[in-house]
Amino acid sequence: MVAFPGASASGSPWGKAASETEQGAHPPDLGLNTQTWGYSSCRVPEALSTSRAGPASGAAPLGRVWSAQGRAHSWLSSLWCHITRGCKAKSAQSLRLPRLQLLRLQDKPSAGRRDRLPQPPQPGSPAGRCFRSAARGQGRGRAPAQRLPQPAGVTRGAQLTRCKKPVAAAAAGLAGCPRGGAGHAGAAWLLNRTPRPSAGYCCGRRPWESPRPAKGLSEPQCCPLLGAAGFFPSQRRLRPGAASSMASPGALAEMPRQFPKLNISEVDEQVRILAEKVFAKVLREEDSKDALSLFTVPEDCPIGQKEAKERELEKELAEQHSVETAKRKKSFKMIRSQSLSLQMPTQEWKAPSVSSLPSPATPVLPGVGQPLQVPFTVPEFQRVTIGGDYCAGVTVDDYEQAAKGLVKALLIREKYCRLAYHRFPRTTAQYLCSMQDEKWKMEDEVCPDFLPPPGKLENPYNLDDAPGNLDYVVKMQGGILFVYDNKEMMKLNEPRSLPYPDLETYTIDLSHVLAMIADGPTKTYCHRRLNFLESKFSLHEMLNEMSEFKELKSNPHRDFYNVRKVDTHIHAAACMNQKHLLKFIKRTYKTESNRIVAEKEGKKMTLKQVFESLHMDPYDLTVDSLDVHAGRQTFHRFDKFNSKYNPVGASELRDLYLKTENYLGGEYFARMVKEVARELEENKYQYMEPRLSIYGRSPDEWKNLAIWFIEHKVYSPNIRWIIQVPRIYDIFRSKNLLANFGKMLENIFLPLFEATINPTDHRELHLFLKYVTGFDSVDDESKHTDHMFSNRSPNPEIWTSEKNPPYSYYLYYMYANIMVLNNLRKERGMSTFLFRPHCGEAGSITHLVSAFLTSDNISHGLLLKKSPVLQYLYYLAQIPIAMSPLSNNSLFLEYSKNPLREFLHKGLHISLSTDDPMQFHYTKEALMEEYAIAAQVWKLSTCDSCELARNSVLQSGLSHKEKQKFLGVNYYKEGPEGNDIRKTNVAQIRMAFRYETLCNELSFLSDAMKSEEITALSKESQHQETSQSST
Tell whether the model's pLDDT for residue 124 goes beyond 80.
no
629 has catalytic annotation: no
pLDDT, tens digit, for every residue of 546-587?
A: 999 999 999 999 999 999 999 999 999 999 998 999 999 999
Cα–Cα distance measured from residue 913 to residue 884, given in angstroms and rounded to the nearest whole number: 5
Tell whether the model's pLDDT for residue 943 goes beyond 50.
yes
pLDDT, tens digit, for every residue of 168-197?
A: 333 333 333 433 333 333 333 333 333 333
Strands 596-600 and 603-606, by their bridges, are antiparallel
Beta bridge partners of 475: 482
Tell whether the model's pLDDT for residue 306 goes beyond 50.
yes
854-858: average pLDDT? 96
Tell whether the model's pLDDT for residue 804 goes beyond 90.
yes
Q: Pick from 196-210, 355-369, 627-641, 955-969 the range whose average pLDDT is largest.
A: 955-969
Cα–Cα distance measured from residue 426 to residue 404, given in angstroms and rounded to the nearest whole number: 20
Strands 473-477 and 480-484, by their bridges, are antiparallel
Tell whether the model's pLDDT for residue 157 goes beyond 50.
no
- Quick check: 173 and 43 in contact, CB under 8 A? no
Catalytic annotation, pick one of 82, 762, 860, 960: 860
Cα–Cα distance measured from residue 988 to residue 378, given in angstroms and rounded to the nearest whole number: 6
Categorize the per-residue pLDDT at 790 as very low, low, confident or very high, splitting at 50, 70 and 90.
confident
- Counting every residue written for the chain, the total comes to 1031
Cα–Cα distance measured from residue 670 to residue 418, given in angstroms and rounded to the nearest whole number: 36
Cα–Cα distance measured from residue 358 to residue 362, given in angstroms and rounded to the nearest whole number: 8
- Angstrom CA distances, 220 to 162, 178, 746, 829, stand at 12, 11, 37, 20
Does pTM surpass 0.85? Answer: no
- Quick check: 187 and 84 in contact, CB under 8 A? no
Number of Cβ atoms within 10 Å of the Cβ of 614:
15
Categorize the per-residue pLDDT at 782 as very low, low, confident or very high, splitting at 50, 70 and 90.
confident
Helices 926-938, 942-955: axis angle to 10 degrees equals: 140
- Angstrom CA distances, 475 to 292, 495, 582, 986, stand at 43, 10, 47, 49
Higher-pLDDT residue of 560 and 236 is 560
786-791: average pLDDT? 82
Cα–Cα distance measured from residue 686 to residue 688, given in angstroms and rounded to the nearest whole number: 7
Write phi, then psi, for 759 (nearest 5 degrees).
Answer: -70, -25
Categorize the per-residue pLDDT at 439 as very low, low, confident or very high, splitting at 50, 70 and 90.
confident
Categorize the per-residue pLDDT at 326 as very low, low, confident or very high, splitting at 50, 70 and 90.
low
Handedness of CA 695, 699, 702, 705 (dihedral sign): negative
pLDDT, tens digit, for every residue of 467-521?
A: 999 999 999 999 999 999 999 999 999 999 899 999 999 999 999 999 999 888 8
- Quick check: 396 and 325 in contact, CB under 8 A? yes
- Quick check: 714 and 722 in contact, CB under 8 A? no
User: What pLDDT does 63 receive?
Assistant: 37
Q: Which stretch of DSSP H or E encloses residue 754? A: helix 741-757
Q: Which amino acid is at 434?
A: S
User: What pLDDT does 960 receive?
Assistant: 94
Write phi, then psi, for 47 (nearest 5 degrees).
Answer: -65, -25
Helices 520-553, 988-1030: axis angle to 10 degrees equals: 150
Tell whether the model's pLDDT for residue 1012 goes beyond 80.
no
Q: Which stretch of DSSP H or E encloses residue 778? A: strand 772-778
> According to DSSP H, which parts of 344-395 are helical?
none
DSSP, collapsed to helix, strand or coil, labels residue 703 as helix
User: What pLDDT does 438 receive?
Assistant: 84
Categorize the per-residue pLDDT at 781 as very low, low, confident or very high, splitting at 50, 70 and 90.
confident
Handedness of CA 994, 549, 882, 567 (dihedral sign): negative
Handedness of CA 588, 591, 594, 596 (dihedral sign): negative
Contacts of 634 (CB under 8 A, 6+ apart): 640, 641, 644, 890, 891
Cα–Cα distance measured from residue 816 to residue 854, given in angstroms and rounded to the nearest whole number: 9
Cα–Cα distance measured from residue 888 to residue 865, given in angstroms and rounded to the nearest whole number: 14
Categorize the per-residue pLDDT at 427 as very low, low, confident or very high, splitting at 50, 70 and 90.
very high
For 635-698, the DSSP string reads: TT-HHHHHHTTSGGG-HHHHHHHS-SSSTTSSHHHHHHHHHHHHHHHHH-SEEEEEEEE--SS-
Cα–Cα distance measured from residue 886 to residue 1023, given in angstroms and rounded to the nearest whole number: 62
Of 100-114, 486-500, 573-587, 630-644, the one with minimum mean pLDDT is: 100-114
873-886: average pLDDT? 96
41-57: average pLDDT? 37
For 830-883, the DSSP string reads: ----EE--EESSSS-THHHHHHHHH-S-EEE-GGGGG-HHHHHHHHHTT--EEE
Tell whether the model's pLDDT for residue 842 goes beyond 50.
yes
In 3-state terms the chain splits into helix, strand, coil percentages (rounded to 5) of 50, 5, 45
For 780-817, the DSSP string reads: -TT---S----TTSPPGGG---SSPPPHHHHHHHHHHH
Q: Pick from 132-136, 232-236, 376-380, 568-572 the range whose average pLDDT is largest.
A: 568-572
- Angstrom CA distances, 8 to 156, 473, 505, stand at 22, 32, 13
Q: In the predicted model, what is the mean pLDDT of the chain?
A: 72
User: What pLDDT does 704 receive?
Assistant: 95
Report the first-to-last Cα separation within the chain, whole angstroms.
36
